[in-house]
Amino acid sequence: MSASAIHVAGIEKRFGATTALRGVSFDVEAGELFGLVGPDGAGKTTLFRILTTLLVPDTGSATVLGKDVVRDYWDIRLRVGYMPGRFSLYADLSVEENLSFFASVFGTTMAEGRDLIDPIYRQIEPFRERRAGALSGGMKQKLALCCALVHRPDLLLLDEPTTGVDAVSRREFWDLLDTLRATGLTIVASTPYMDEAARCDRIALIQNGALLAIDAPGAVGRRFPRPLFAVRGMSRTRLLTALRAYAHAASVYPFGDTVHVSDARSGIAMEQQQLELSEWLRAQSVTDVSVVPVEPGIEDTFMELMGEPSPVAA
């Protein structure tokens, strides 16, 4: 049996003048929690729609659970659970009715899927008679996840399950995904939040329809090509102005309460870069200067690889 739950080779997809996916290739191993990380409009949803057999690629091929997405679409649909980005349950049906409906579509019952969905369903069970349309955002999301799981799929595909969700609920949602992964389920989830990417086994960074990198979350940060410094100073405006005027700056990006800066020169030791940067800032009358080396993270690498964004849709 092949270990690849998903195999994608050279997929392209165009909509009129827009190229949504340009030569995308990757594999997802069975049992993996795989993240597709990128902003709105990167092509994540198009990719999900191809993997769920709702769209046919223009070129390239893909198999899901060993089945071809074009030829064997019916087999795939029975074995995949899909939670689309937009709320797509029946607003006029109750929580319980939605679940029973989705179970019956797949020829099963709520009772048969109960143990798998139990940790999630327990949280919405007190509202089981409430219309789905009247649930809060977080509850809707949990119900949608239950509906995608009730037929015990071999692969779970989640398109931006946490967009518009607050930081605490996002954490809780990823805790749930950890629980599901522990059952051996293969999961692919997309997100625009770089902090969530750290919770995946592997991630693919996606931008403008192309994959920028595929790796373990920790390894993605190490792809950043230069030493990186976290810089502080007073005031923030003066600090940013001074950093942008620094002749050797390769990248200058605000990062929470610091600014992440890298030096374009490759032949110079990190300590020397650090020293010169501090001296430059003091010479520019920035006070309370602190320049410390910092491990690049996923977002640092993403910005390095994505290049300067353009207003004209490519």
Partner 1 sequence: MTIRSAAPAIVARSLSRRFGSFTAVDRISFEVQAGEVFGFLGANGAGKTTAIRMLTGLLSPSDGEASVAGFDVRTQIEQVRRHIGYMSQRFSLYDDLTVRENIRLYGGIYGLTDAEIAERTTAILAELRFAPSVAALVRSLPLGWKQKLALSVALLHRPAVVFLDEPTGGVDPITRRQFWELIYQAAARGTTVFVTTHYLDEAEYCDRLSIMVDGRVAALGTPSALKAEFSVPTLDEVFVRLARGPATGAVL
Instruction: Give contact residues for partner 1 (rule: CB under 8 A).
Output: 38-42, 136-138, 160, 163-171, 192-195, 207, 237, 253-257, 299, 302-303, 306, 308-309, 311-313
Between residues 123 and 169, which has the closer beta carbon with respect to partner 1? Answer: 169
Between residues 40 and 295, which has the closer beta carbon with respect to partner 1? Answer: 40
Between residues 15 and 115, which has the closer beta carbon with respect to partner 1? Answer: 15
Q: Count CB-CB contacts under 10 A for residue 212.
A: 20
Find out whether 262 and 226 touch, Cβ atoms under 8 Å: yes
- The CB-of-42 to partner 1 minimum distance in angstroms stands at 8
Q: Count CB-CB contacts under 10 A for residue 303.
A: 18
Which residues have CB under 8 Å from 52's CB, separation 6+? 76, 77, 80, 82, 157
Between residues 183 and 241, which has the closer beta carbon with respect to partner 1? Answer: 241
DSSP at 55: S
Closest CA relative to residue 154, chosen from 217, 75, 211: 75
Between residues 91 and 234, which has the closer beta carbon with respect to partner 1? Answer: 234
Between residues 76 and 239, which has the closer beta carbon with respect to partner 1? Answer: 239
- The CB-of-295 to partner 1 minimum distance in angstroms stands at 15
- The CB-of-17 to partner 1 minimum distance in angstroms stands at 9
Which residues have CB under 8 Å from 57's CB, separation 6+? 11, 12, 13, 21, 50, 69, 70
Joined tokens for residue 209: 């329809």
Between residues 53 and 208, which has the closer beta carbon with respect to partner 1? Answer: 208
Between residues 71 and 222, which has the closer beta carbon with respect to partner 1? Answer: 222
Q: Could you tell me the sign of the dihedral formed by the alpha carbons of 185, 190, 192, 198, in that order?
A: positive
C-alpha span between 222 and 218 (Å, rounded): 7
- The CB-of-305 to partner 1 minimum distance in angstroms stands at 11
Which residues have CB under 8 Å from 49's CB, separation 6+? 55
State the alpha helices, DSSP H only, in the chain: 44-51, 73-79, 95-105, 110-124, 137-149, 167-182, 194-197, 217-222, 236-244, 270-283, 298-306
C-alpha span between 182 and 148 (Å, rounded): 17
- The CB-of-256 to partner 1 minimum distance in angstroms stands at 4
- The CB-of-123 to partner 1 minimum distance in angstroms stands at 14
- The CB-of-197 to partner 1 minimum distance in angstroms stands at 12
- The CB-of-227 to partner 1 minimum distance in angstroms stands at 20
